[in-house]
Amino acid sequence: MPPTVLHLHGLGSSPASAKAVVLGERLRRRGFNYLVPDLEVPSFERLTLTAVVDRVAELVTDMSPGPLDLVGSSFGGLAALHFVDRHRGDAAAKIRRLVLLAPALDLLGDAERRRERGELDDDWLERWRRDGFLDLPHSASGDQRPVHYGLVEDLRGYDSFSAHLEMPTLIYHGRRDESVPYRQSVRFAADRPNVSLRLLDTDHRLADRLDRIGQGIIDFLEV
């Protein structure tokens, strides 16, 4: 039975994202079964990390026996990490290896840093709470769409840096990432001998390094 790779796309992205398409083509040629589910659950407007984590658990539980690896990109990397942490006694036990691509380990902290740089209004979070929704980029459609404040409340229940992670893990992160600072991945990998961090001279999309990343993922998963 060929090994299966489950790819978790990012916030506002889709199964048709450049990373999912390019990496999927490369790994399928190598014999992997590459799956990219739609993770806008229950919808983009009502999205929560918990809903995505639970959806991943359902998908993994329903999969046929056989080698299974997990790739998570940006928000999908955050979901992958917390799926492994919260379901390590059941569904996550199926996962052999984990790959995180520019994982968004601290979304609320990233937004606060953007506020400090003047990229967000000082009252952005209060306005979101007051109005109930905030328009966020939706790259799959090329526009902005409202997301409910429940996403913020849900994210406050997660701490990526205290997450439990035992499986071999590979992280790729761009040094020029302006959306998710690469130092988050440095901090996460620092005291985890099972985590290998590879920093690249690129931005958050990793678009110009996908061939290199694809080969690195193949080498990592075929060990």
The answer on pLDDT for 1 being more than 80 is no
- pLDDT reported for residue 54: 97
Q: Can you give the pTM of this predicted structure?
A: 0.95
Rounded CA-CA distance 86/89 in Å is 8
Q: Domains (ranges, CATH) in the chain?
A: 4-221 (3.40.50.1820)
107-139 pLDDT, tens per residue? 988 887 877 777 778 788 899 999 999 998 898
Q: Count the helices and strands in the chain (H runs, E runs).
A: 8, 8
